[in-house]
Structure 1
Amino acid sequence: MTAITGAAPAAARRTARPREAAAVQLVRWGTVAALVAVWEAVTRLTDAGGDYLTSPSRIVADGLPKVLEGGSLTLVGYTTYRFLIAFAVTAVAGPAVGLLLGRLNKHVYLGGRDVVSVLYALPMAPLYPLFVLWLGLGDGSEIAFGVIHGIIPVILMTMTAGAAVEPAVLDSGRAMGAGRLRRLLFLVVPACLPDIIGALKIGAALSLLGVLLAELMISVDGVGTFISTQITNHGAAALDAMVLVVCAGALAVNAALSAVEKRASRGRPDRP
């Protein structure tokens, strides 16, 4: 009787989960549809958009064809290339430095956390001319600017996750004869992996932001140059279409990292 009684709530929970997921999707996409409808209505019935915001229907009809032209896609390719390199550097160096600072020594962690927090709070945009001076105009300075935007929060969040690993986990590895490097690779990294991937989601968004800011400020190609040209020429439809394409790409990267994060979190107890 007890087994039957216990199985009933479990079955009910399994039945409720698809319903909850469907309700969440309905709210999510219903909200998006409502916002698009309001956007269409406001821009058609008023002059709220001015020269730089047009209706979704005009973006699809007039803007997307310009964005999907060969020349525009080449500019998107330049930006994508710079972002991928910047994010690759962030994804490799950020967790490595963060784990090193988080696990090396308590005093190193506390001091390093304060330094990295100050760097995270600094506005980077005024420093971009220095990147151009050091690395030249082009890929080098734009990739470096993307890295500096993305890597600092990744280091900070990875440091915190590494320092929060339970001592009992490390003690068990030490008792089984694992050295410092083995404990780091086989105990600390798996324990921190979901947090590291969560940090990389933020790092990806900020790396893309850094690359785009660099292209908007001083550049001869890329998405930033396309956006600057459309602003100068009052090309509202093409400008908004390019912004939406960039947002779609950022959402795709975020969704991929979220899937990896979910997989890495399997077997981990739910947090309150």
Structure 2
Amino acid sequence: MTEWLSNFFLSKVRAKNAATLLLCIVGVFALWPWLNRLAIDRDIPSDYIFPLAVLGILALSYLLISVSVKGFRILKVFRGKYSRKIEDKKQQEEFREKVRVSLPALNKETLGILKDLGESEQKIDIRHKGVVWLLKENLIKKVLQTSATEFVIKIDQNVKELLCEFEATEFTKVVEETINNLQENQRSFLDLFWSKDVPYGTRDSGKMMPNQVYSAGYVLVDKGLILLSRITEGRNIEETFTLQDEAESYMKSQIYRTPPQRRSLIICPKFVRGSGASGGGAIGNMPRKI
């Protein structure tokens, strides 16, 4: 009904005038008895009653029709914007679902491109494997062309958000799988974060850490459960192993049932058997992964 009335008022230039005239006629017939009595009571000359009534009702009719037309126009614009908003939201949800399904199926190289772009815009050669497909699927966008084949490219914001969710989910799986299948030496290395005193591998302990335990720490670093940083002063090297937040939380709730004694563990390679560092008992070159 609203659409029909809108078409009636807006489709023809003369429709507004016709509607005004029609409303005026109806108004005159409806209000004339009351206006006539009012004029007689106020001693208004009879010659002026009808013209004044028609002019007044015509002006009021024109005002009402004008307001109605403007209202229909506003309603039409609002409905158009609302419809576009609903459609845009629908398309966005469909796109996000497509991305959510696509991410686990991407190869490491293509996923690596997205991860790099998730940190910042990158200058990329579009001939690089996977780039054309990502552009075609609108997962990434060109920002600026710098040469015949190179562009500054950014990742779509929706893709960036979903990529973060995907990485978090995948990392959680790695954490759970690793901790649920800990090897003895890996457990021994993790115990160092929960033990009151560190029994070996530090200057304070003065005792040698078994190479197998030290190497197990590197395995946990590779899996992302522990973060590693090194400080070198001359010939002195110290390595700081820090628990990753999610890994710490999972181990606290599933294994140790208590907070760790320390979040960071400083190991001196001189006190690790087979670390390759100079000093008492050091033999070999690199930590051996197990």
| TM-score of Structure 1 vs Structure 2, range by shorter chain | under 0.3
Name the one with the larger helix percent: 1
Name which one, 1 or 2, has greater alpha-carbon Rg. 2
Name the one with the larger strand percent: 2
TM-score, normalisation: structure 2: 0.23
TM-score, normalisation: structure 1: 0.24
